[in-house]
Amino acid sequence: MAADRGMTVTFEFEWATNTAARLTRLDTSGAQRRYWFDADVLSQQWWIDRLQDATDAARPRYTPELNVNVPAARSIAALCSDDEWWQAVLGQVDELTEATRRLQHAGNDATAADLGAARSAATTVIDALKAWERTRSDAEFRGLDETLTDAIAVVREQEAVEVERMNATHENWDTAGWRQYQSEYMVHFPAEAVDALRDLDGKLEIAAELLISPLGTLAGSQVALMTGPAGIGKTYLALDAAARRLQRGLPSIVMHGRWFNDHDLLIHLRDVLQMPADLTTEETIALLDQSARAAGAPTLLVIDALNDTRPRSMWRDNFDRLISIVTRHPHIRLLLTARTHYVNQVLPPGVCIPRFEHTGFEGVEFEAVSEYAAFYGLEPPTSPPIHGEFDNPLYLRLVCEALQSDGRLSLDQANMGLGELTKMVLDHANEAVSNRVDASVSDQIVHRAMHALAGAIADQGGAPLTRLAAQAALNPIWSDNSAEKSLLDGLIAQGLVEEDVIPDSSPYGTDIITITFERISHHLIVSDALAHMNDADGVRAQLSGRLGELIGLDATIDVGLLEATSVVVAERFGLELTAFTAVITDTVARDAAVIAGTAWRSVSSITPDTGSIITNALHRRDTFDAGLTMLFRLAARPGHPLNAHFLHEFFSELTMSTRDQFLAGWLHTSHGTSGAVDRLIRWGGEKPLDQVGTETTRLWITALLWTTSASDRRVREPATIAAARLLAHHPHQAAALLERFCTVDDEWIVERALQVSYSALLASGSDADWGAAAEIVSAAFFARSADLTPNAAVRDAARCILEAALDREALPVEVTPEHFRPPYTSTWPLNWPTEEDIATYDNRDYPKLVHSTTTDDFFTYQLTPELRDRPGVDVAASARWVVAEVIRLGYRPRLHSNFDDYVLGKYGPGRGKPKWIERIGKKYQWIALNRLIGHLSDHAPKTRSSWEAPPPAVPGPESSIVRQVDPTVTEFEPASDAPRLWVPAYNWDAKIGRPDAQWVADDSDLPTIDVTSAERDGRPFIVVSGSYSWDLTGDSMKRTHHVWTNLYTHLVSTDDLPVALGELEGRDLINSLGMSRLPMSYNGYVGEYPFGHHHRATLSVVEHEWTDPLSVPTRPAVWELLGENEYAPGNLETISFDAPAPEFFGPAPGTLHWNGRNGWTDTSGRLIAVLRHSVNVGQNELLIDADFLQVWLTTERKSLIWVENTGKDVYREMGWGTSHPGALVRSQVRAWTPGQDLRTVTPGWQRIPARDD
């Protein structure tokens, strides 16, 4: 065709990617591509630009550098069908699968219920959830509600049938105690089917609540509404969610409601998005939908703050059109946000779309405060904030900005009095608003405006103002009401005032103006009311007049105003509300107001009367919780009259019996509520503590140690760890701490004070710190035999400090080992009670006390083993002595039986109850037992068998039960998924198409750990122990085919290495020579290893029993440290770490020191030996610094031998008959001498042939 026309055409080759890139640069909107190629494409830069537009428009209230993960983010993930949501769905699958498996095992006994029907119903749900996650389609979700509902109905029907059978065959069967009796004493589980059905029902209910709830409905919806009050962070969350998605390549865009006006809303939406003008609204949404298809994920379209659009009716009038267009494009997810009270104004009546509430920083205050402090260049609070308002993002921002503007450097300074805090916030806002409206900063228009608004609110009885009324109140201060210079709008923009709506008889309610933070509003109202008062009479007159009317003293009391009054009266007049009892007749409301206001008062306004009001409030049910909570909230505040010093004095004046009456129950019920004690424990256990000062540390630990009196181990054990972690930063405080607590009459607390001090001194104590602590301990416990408690746990903890001080040559000159080492003198003989003596306690007034101590598990597994092999000791009489000692300790039914009955009723009396919950009576049993052990150790020591090792040179512990938590492990290193180049992957392709027996027998594909190529933080390390696993399924809980490796190392003289290798060559070492196991030290703290009398006792036994496996001497290069703390919760329960052999540490106190988390450092702080993780999750690994190991081996003329056992296994379900695919294990031996290459000898094998019967 071109030739016919005399034309020459040249075709130039162009890569498609180049063409696309050139078009993208030339056509940022996509209009030309749409015209020429009918292709709609939005570049990544377009999305970034639109997000930047939204971000810029949200400043200064939004700062993208501030990121706090809040609970409501999960709702957006569900709406967008993001991975975070589907992980939650698969979590439900796992929970239901486990519950269904339990139901299968419950069918062993005869049942009336059709368990098969219940299993089938649950399996249908599991399959439906898997299908939904796989397809992520609306069709699958729509049937899920019915599937779950039907399954729940089936399970509940079968549960009812089984309950009817149980009612007919057993009396009073439906209690925890009955079940524990049946399982523990009858070895029978008649209620197992009911329990399994209830468990499955509960799991189904949880799945339904998650998936068929507003949250779950989001995953099947295209449109959702996020609500919340002003300043709670809705805009923040929307922008953060869009930014996070965009970073992952997921299309997301945010538009602000104020960008829209009275033009055609849907056309305006196109313009806001800066789309070509020839696009219709439908085409605009279609373009966003097409982008979603290209990205393989929904487009998130956020229209934020609908209530900011003028007029607000725009959304209401156009809502149906908008939703109609959006829902025609299945890959769009529209998220609308609005203040809660404006919903009726911006959405049509009766509209039904999924909705969720944003609750700000609730539950994540710790993370939020730390993030904000870092951003504003402030020091984070050194202890938990005492003000609950920090869970409001706007409040936290205003306070941080005000502190920064005022030149204050720490968020701790936000704990000033409310009057000073209000002034500081208003000062900062005044500068910003004055600049906005072109007013003089010195005119203080913000201060005057806020007082004017507060006064106007007060004039109409505390009711909010209409916008017109608010404007009228401000006109005398600033009359320019133009959009750019409106004082009212400036206050709203700064966050001090919010515009809201209240429902009334009209369809959409009435616009109102309120002061954003009610506490500031109340403070301004009360301050103005009392501004011209000079004394108590003036205050009394106001309380009898206008202020009293506002508070509602003769009607329903406004507790917020009364609280504000307590603050202003105290700060201005030095008076408490108790001075006005004649006017404030409601004493409960009065004291509650004083307690709540205490946190907001300046330190100078706190009087002895304030403390009396709070402590007296502890005697009343209505104010007990608030009073005790306030004391713990103030505990860590240096200089505050009601801090932990006050708490300590108050508690010390009470007996243990009296304290436990209220403290044990309160510590239990307040656990997990994010209350004052929870915060002290969590912050102490998790937050960075480098900036915590000496005085704060002293106060914080004081409060924590009082919580170790708890019989709930979820409080006691983590509080111990938090205290140890804190004190490790200020070990010089240990002596003063011990002096304070050694005289407390609760030996559970004394024991923990000693253990916390020991842990901190081990971590970072200087010789002077050790000496000071040793002096206190020696004087308090060992100066006179009469002063020494018989409590074995306390004596052991005290002695630990002195033994360690001795190792460091830090003992006071007058103290020698003979002063503090056993044997000790104590009362003997004891008065052994008869059965008649304790019969009076064998009733329900003393819940389970006698039964537990003389018959049950405490007697069998704790008391009896401790008394065995003690000549002349009557075990039964000793048990009765423990009962009598519990009474002598102060156990009284009127004080303690209510809580103990509650524990037995809620958790059961047997082994089935959680280990972490104890009766108060059980706490006293532990103390009494430790006292008995002390007496018996002094006068009836255990007879040593002929086969036992001789006593160690330094006497070991008096008992194995004296320690129940390891306070030296203060942090837990999680298992890392980071790649380890020295650990090879296993190629499971080798299994494909091969019979199991053939795969097992193949010895050519076994992995080998590259032991000399490990690294950490850019430094070379050597692998000295480890366990490794490769699973075909990738899930060890659903294992079918498994390859594993266990690695052990041994030390041998370099001169003896050839002989050792010759004897190991070709040997099957999995079951021979004892070189495939680690020596173990148990019941010693990780932080004191390999020293301290606990470890030394174990080491002496191992040394006594050691036999060389070869003809030349060898020693293990690694030991296992095992601590089983069966009553401790979570990671604290089992400590199982590999550790370098004692030889690497040198003489006491050693050259290596445990870092509290995951390894051992040298004296310079350099990490020498490191664990892969310190949580109890199975496979672990110990690495030693290559340079350190090389120097040590060279100096000691040693070489290292590795024994690496690697095997293959096949796992099958039960009932597969007698056939078996066999097994294979390779024992590979390697050796290394510094300066030489790694040597490898011929491996040994264990081959179990396949069997096919």
Q: Which residues contact 215 (CB under 8 A, 6 or more apart)?
A: 74, 75, 78, 356
Phi, psi of 593 (to 5 degrees): -65, -40
Q: Minimal CA–CA distance to 856: which of 889, 884, 832, 883?
A: 883
Return the CA Rg of the chain. Answer: 36
Distance, C-alpha 598 to centroid of its chain: 29
Interatomic CA distance for residues 1043 and 1028, integer angstroms: 8
Task: Please provide the distance, in angstroms rounded to a whole number, between the alpha carbons at the two ends of the chain.
Answer: 81
Task: Output the pLDDT for position 1133.
Answer: 83
CA angle 1061, 1063, 1069 (to 5 degrees): 95
Interatomic CA distance for residues 721 and 1156, integer angstroms: 10
3-state secondary structure of 1209: strand
- Give the chain's domains with CATH numbers: 1-41 (no CATH), 82-216 (no CATH), 231-357 (3.40.50.300), 363-415 (no CATH), 430-519 (1.10.10), 835-939 (no CATH), 988-1248 (no CATH)
Task: Output the pLDDT for position 1214.
Answer: 44
Task: Output the pLDDT for position 388.
Answer: 66
- AA identity, residue 1007: P
- AA identity, residue 113: A
CA angle 753, 756, 757 (to 5 degrees): 85
If 0-12 CB within 10 Å is exposed, 13-18 middle and 19+ buried, where does residue 1166 land?
Answer: exposed
C-alpha torsion sign, points 384, 387, 391, 397 = negative
Strand partners, 1167: 1161
Q: Minimal CA–CA distance to 607: which of 578, 627, 628?
A: 578
If 0-12 CB within 10 Å is exposed, 13-18 middle and 19+ buried, where does residue 407 land?
Answer: exposed
3-state secondary structure of 763: helix
3-state secondary structure of 1152: coil
Q: Are 629 and 647 spatial neighbours (Cβ–Cβ below 8 Å)?
A: no
Low-confidence ranges of the chain (pLDDT < 50): 16-17, 20-23, 25-26, 28-29, 31-40, 1214-1216
Q: Minimal CA–CA distance to 1173: which of 893, 959, 1009, 972?
A: 972
C-alpha torsion sign, points 715, 716, 717, 720 = positive
CA angle 698, 704, 708 (to 5 degrees): 135
CA angle 215, 217, 219 (to 5 degrees): 85
How many CB atoms are closer than 10 A to CB 86? 17
Tens of pLDDT, residues 778-832: 999 998 887 899 999 999 999 999 999 999 999 999 999 999 999 899 999 999 9
- Alpha-carbon distances of 504 from 344, 459, 509, 511, rounded to whole Å: 11, 21, 5, 10
Q: What is the DSSP letter of 859?
A: I
Tens of pLDDT, residues 450-469: 999 998 988 887 778 888 99
Task: Output the pLDDT for position 502.
Answer: 62
Task: Output the pLDDT for position 201.
Answer: 87
Interatomic CA distance for residues 179 and 530, integer angstroms: 64
- AA identity, residue 92: Q
**What is the pTM (predicted TM-score) of this model?**
0.82
Interatomic CA distance for residues 280 and 266, integer angstroms: 9
Task: Output the pLDDT for position 314.
Answer: 82
Give the DSSP H/E element, type plus range, for residue 1082: strand 1080-1082
Length of the chain: 1253
How many CB atoms are closer than 10 A to CB 540? 18
